[in-house]
Structure 1
Amino acid sequence: MARAIPLATNTADVQAVTGACTLVGFSARETGGAASADVTLRDGTDASGAIKAIVRLVANGSQAGSIPAVDFTTGIFVDRSGTGSSELVLYIQ
């Protein structure tokens, strides 16, 4: 069964998970309302980790879905960019 990891609205990068895990789904929305936001999920503890997934959110847009299992060995680091802000929920096993 998947476990939900909620990440509050922000523009800052954040360590979402520490340690090995498997990402099986996500939901994301842009919350600033006037600009797009990119969310890059990296395997590691900083913005230099290997890219495992990318989500592009248009202003006021959202995306959600199940995905094929993506293994992270060190953890999930959320690298946010763009001028918008994002709110996320990651579903891991």
Structure 2
Amino acid sequence: MARAIPLATGTADAQAVTGACTLVGFSARETGGTNSADVTFRDGTDASGAIKAIARLVANGSQAGPLPPVDFATGIFIDRSGTGSSELVLYLL
């Protein structure tokens, strides 16, 4: 069974998980209501890690769904960009 890891609303990059893990899904929404937000899932502890997945959120929009298992070797770093804010929940094995 997957476990949920919530990430608070914001515009700043964030370390979501430290250490090896497998991402099997996510839900995300843009919370500012007027601007888009991009969320890049990187393997590592900073914005230089390898890109494993990307979500583009339109203003006041959302995305959710399962993924094929995506392995992260050193952790999941959330690299946020755009002018909107995002709120996420990651689902890990």
Query: Would you call these one fold, judging by a TM-score over 0.5?
Result: yes
* Equivalence map 1:45-56=2 (5 Å): 45-56=45-56
Q: TM-score, normalised by structure 1?
A: 0.99
- In structure 2, the residue matched to 1:42 is 42
* Equivalence map 1:1-93=2 (5 Å): 1-93=1-93
CA distance in 2, matches of 1:92, 1:47: 20
Q: Which ranges of 4 or more aligned residues in structure 1 deviate by more than 3 Å? A: none
The structural deviation recorded for 1:84 is 0.1
The Cα offsets for residues 31-71 of structure 1, whole Å up to 9 and x where unpaired, read as 00000000000000000000000000000000000010000
The structural deviation recorded for 1:89 is 0.1
Q: TM-score, normalised by structure 2?
A: 0.99
Structure 2 gap segments, 5+ residues each: none
CA distance in 2, matches of 1:92, 1:55: 17
Percent of matched pairs sharing the same residue = 86
RMSD: 0.3
CA distance in 2, matches of 1:67, 1:39: 15
Q: Give the letter for the 2:30 counterpart.
A: E
CA distance in 1, matches of 2:42, 2:67: 16
Q: Give the letter for the 1:30 counterpart.
A: E
Aligned length: 93
